[in-house]
Amino acid sequence: MFSLKTYGSVCRPDSGWAAFFTSILVWGIGMGCFQATFNNFIVETYAIGGVDRGVLEFMRETPGVCLIAILALLHKFTDWQILRIGTLISLAAAGLLLIPVPWMGAIVFITIWALGEHLVMPVRQSLALSIAREGKSGESLGIVTSAINAGTVVGSLLVAAVFFMGTRVLSVESQRLLYDIVWCLIVLLLGASVWFGGRVKEPGVQGKPRPSFYFRRKYSKFYALELFYGARKQVFFTFGPFVLIKLYGMETKDVALLFGISAFLTALWGGRLIGRLTDRWGYRNVMVWDTVILFFVCLLYGFAKDIFPPKIALGIVCVNYILDAILSNASIATNLYARTLSDSQEELTATLSSGISVNHVITVFYALLGGWIFDAFGAGVLFATAGVMALANSAFALTVPKPAPRN
Assign 3-class secondary structure to the chain.
Answer: CCCHHHHHHHECCCCCHHHHHHHHHHHHHHHHHHHHHHHHHHHHHHCCCHHHHHHHHHHHHHHHHCHHHHHHHCCCCCHHHHHHHHHHHHHHHHHHCCCCCCHHHHHHHHHHHHHHHHHHHHHHHHHHHHCECCCCHHHHHHHHHHHHHHHHHHHHHHHHHHHHHHHHHCCCCCHHHHHHHHHHHHHHHHHHHHHHHHCCCCCCCCCCCCCCCCCCHHHHHHHHHHHHHHHHHHHHHHHHHHHHHHCCCCCHHHHHHHHHHHHHHHHHHHHHHHHHHHHHHCHHHHHHHHHHHHHHHHHHHHHHHHHCCHHHHHHHHHHHHHHHHHHHHHHHHHHHHHHHHCCCHHHHHHHHHHHHHHHHHHHHHHHHHHHHHHHHHCHHHHHHHHHHHHHHHHHHHCCCCCCCCCC
- Highest mean pLDDT: which range of 34-48, 130-144, 192-206: 34-48
The pLDDT value given to residue 267: 63
Residue 16's contacts (CB-CB under 8 Å, 6 or more residues apart) are 80, 131, 200, 201, 202, 203
pLDDT digits (tens, 9 = 90+) for 308-338: 888 899 998 998 888 887 777 777 777 777 8
pLDDT digits (tens, 9 = 90+) for 93-112: 999 999 999 989 999 999 99
Rg (CA), the chain: 20
Give the predicted TM-score (pTM) of the model: 0.69
Give the residue, 115 or 200, on which the prediction is more confident.
115
CB 228 within 8 A of CB 396: yes
Identity at 337, one-letter amino acid code: Y
- Highest mean pLDDT: which range of 51-60, 77-86, 169-178: 77-86
> Binning pLDDT at 50, 70 and 90, where does residue 126 land?
confident
Asked if the model's pLDDT at residue 371 lies above 60, the reply is yes
